[in-house]
Chain A
Amino acid sequence: MSDIETIGIAGAGTMGAGIALVCARAGFRTRVFDMQPSALERARDQAGAFLRKSVERGKLAAERLPQIMGLWHGSTRLEDFADCALVIEAVFESLPVKHQLFGQLDKICAPQALFASNTSTLSITGIAGGSGRADRFIGMHFCLPAQLMKLVEISPGLATSQQTFARAWDWCERLGQQPVKTQDTPGFVLNYFLIPFHNDAIRLVEQGVAEPADIDLAIKTAMGYAMGPMELLDLVGIDTQKLLCEALYDATGEPRAACPALVKRMIAAGWLGKKSGRGFHPYQDDKMFGA
């Protein structure tokens, strides 16, 4: 039985907000850290809106909403993670930033606390190397949108202990998610396929093969996918796609992983996807997916 009851989520962006909601919804005391108070406020508002929609749809009992939100605690102080038995990092894809974060957390958290990274592309062994506790470090990659998708890719690094793997796996099942063990290879399973697939779709737009709406319609109709690639890219964030490309291309040298020029132009124009109101499609609000 897992001893993990209090969770720390570092980073209140799209992924961090989704993971925090999943944790609180499953009954875990959830602490969310971000340096920006506005990011915490937005993540909390989005979680409330998502849960209210769940109540409207009959998927959540109304009395559960205040209980869940009562478990959700935002903070701009990393020291508030001192009682966390598990910290999941969901900050942007930069190894130095992640090393700095975990270096601080190593001094704050109890020795038995587990550290996990939600990285999509960086090496778990590489991040663990700067954490001060490589044996208690593991990859836990949630899928976007985390509040709806059940899969978690669990990736041990070279130094991850068997006990750490078992504790993380057990907790993930208690969370109501479906863990799958993946190797610590670039992109694990999902992003190894998804990042180049998305780049291919962006290149179709660049080359004038089709408009984004036609690409989404074609893929959803032909393949039965819930979302088209351009819709999913807008949800991921165009700036995040650039970071993912750079990390995967750096690790693999795979030409399809190279960042398309259109991504850089969209970032320059401020077209970052759903969060900025415009990506490959226009958006009227910043509600969490499914809300």
Chain B
Amino acid sequence: MDSSYKIIQAGDSRSFDGPHPFVDNSDPQGAARVFIGQHAGSAFAAAGPLDACPFIAIELGQECLGEHTGEDGGREGSNVLGLARFRLGSAPPTALVELVRQPQTRPAAIAAARAALTAAGLKVAICGDFPGRIVDRLIRPYLNAALRRLDERLASAQDLDKTLCLGLGYPEGPIALLERTGLAQHHDVTQALYRALGEPAYAPARRAQVAKARQRRAGFN
């Protein structure tokens, strides 16, 4: 199985914003193509036919892979995968890569992409092409609920965090985690998920809305 790949950088990458073995392993003669950066999808669209590649990976933001590949009534899928290295707000990227597949994505393409990523020390979770993928889909309602319970005075922020850390072995409680990584960014992600999924659990909690409003007032988007 040929797992060699060439990285095409198209703008700033949220997944790889500094040196990393996955970037170092890029080979100009590589058989596969990896498009990273905020304009990865546009670069893929401009690249021409790549059907012979063992795999193609496009870095995703909040969007679905289908926005770049098109969809075909549930029959979509080829050698193209989505790629997103998980990071929470301003925290550095984690070792997790969510590798997005479509219903008919070729198993050989998934295997080749997985091999290339794991060779660089990354851990790969395969998921379908849905908003929020795995981690955001699961943790954002939990973080929203923590913010709401704080408003409802169920417990102080410290007691809430302490209870969840001691009781579940979490390394950090939800309130401290959000304060460290950015409530405004939590607002942006939950707003996008709320729009996509329409479920109230994703609607940004009041404290996240306040943080976003203050960020805007300070002249940032």
Write the residues of chain A forming the contact surface with B, with a CB cutoff of 8 angstroms.
143, 149-151, 153, 178, 180-183, 185, 189-190, 192-194, 196-197, 200-201, 204, 207-211, 214-215, 217-219, 221-227, 229, 255-256
B: number of interface residues (CB 8 Å) = 39
From B125, B141, B162, give the contact of A217 (CB < 8 A): B125
Q: A180-B159, A182-B163, A190-B167 are in contact. Are A218 and B145 (CB under 8 A)?
A: no
Q: Is the CB of A193 within 8 A of B146?
A: yes
A207 (CB) vs chain B CBs: closest residue? B130
Q: Is the CB of B135 within 8 A of A209?
A: no
B128 at the interface (CB under 8 A from A): yes
Q: Is the CB of B126 within 8 A of A210?
A: yes
Q: Is the CB of B96 within 8 A of A190?
A: no
Interface residues as binary, B44-56 with A (CB distance below 8 Å gives 1, 0 otherwise): 0000000000000
Q: A210-B134, A214-B127 are in contact. Are A222 and B86 (CB under 8 A)?
A: yes
B149 (CB) vs chain A CBs: closest residue? A192
B172 (CB) vs chain A CBs: closest residue? A224
Task: Give Cα A221 to B123, complex, Å.
Answer: 8
B104 at the interface (CB under 8 A from A): no
Q: Is the CB of A189 within 8 A of B134?
A: no
Write the residues of chain B forming the contact surface with A, with a CB cutoff of 8 angstroms.
86, 88, 94-96, 98, 123, 125-128, 130, 133-135, 137-139, 141-142, 145-146, 149, 154-155, 159-160, 162-164, 166-172, 200-201
Task: Give Cα A227 to B171, complex, Å.
Answer: 12
Task: Give Cα A70 to B88, complex, Å.
Answer: 49
Task: Give Cα A200 to B167, complex, Å.
Answer: 20
Q: Is the CB of B163 within 8 A of A153?
A: yes
B200 (CB) vs chain A CBs: closest residue? A255
User: Can you list 18 pairs linking A and B with CB atoms under 8 Å apart?
Assistant: A143-B167, A180-B166, A183-B155, A189-B159, A189-B160, A190-B163, A190-B168, A192-B145, A193-B164, A208-B128, A209-B128, A209-B137, A214-B126, A218-B134, A219-B135, A219-B139, A223-B135, A223-B139
CB distance from A282 to the nearest CB of B (A): 19
Q: A151-B166, A218-B96 are in contact. Are A200 and B138 (CB under 8 A)?
A: yes
A229 (CB) vs chain B CBs: closest residue? B138
B101 (CB) vs chain A CBs: closest residue? A210
| A192 partner residues in chain B, CB cutoff 8 A | 145, 149, 154
Task: Give Cα A192 to B168, complex, Å.
Answer: 13
Task: Give Cα A226 to B145, complex, Å.
Answer: 21
B129 (CB) vs chain A CBs: closest residue? A209
From B98, B137, B146, give the contact of A204 (CB < 8 A): B137
Q: A149-B169, A151-B167, A218-B98 are in contact. Are A200 and B127 (CB under 8 A)?
A: no
Q: Is the CB of B138 within 8 A of A214?
A: no
Q: Is the CB of B127 within 8 A of A209?
A: yes
CB distance from B141 to the nearest CB of A (A): 6
Q: A190-B163, A227-B169 are in contact. Are A210 and B149 (CB under 8 A)?
A: no
Q: A209-B130, A219-B134 are in contact. Are A151 and B125 (CB under 8 A)?
A: no
Q: Is the CB of B154 within 8 A of A189?
A: yes
| B162 partner residues in chain A, CB cutoff 8 A | 180
CB distance from B185 to the nearest CB of A (A): 15
CB distance from A146 to the nearest CB of B (A): 11
| B145 partner residues in chain A, CB cutoff 8 A | 192-193, 196
| B149 partner residues in chain A, CB cutoff 8 A | 189, 192
Task: Give Cα A185 to B155, complex, Å.
Answer: 11
From A153, A201, A218, A224, give the contact of B125 (CB < 8 A): A218
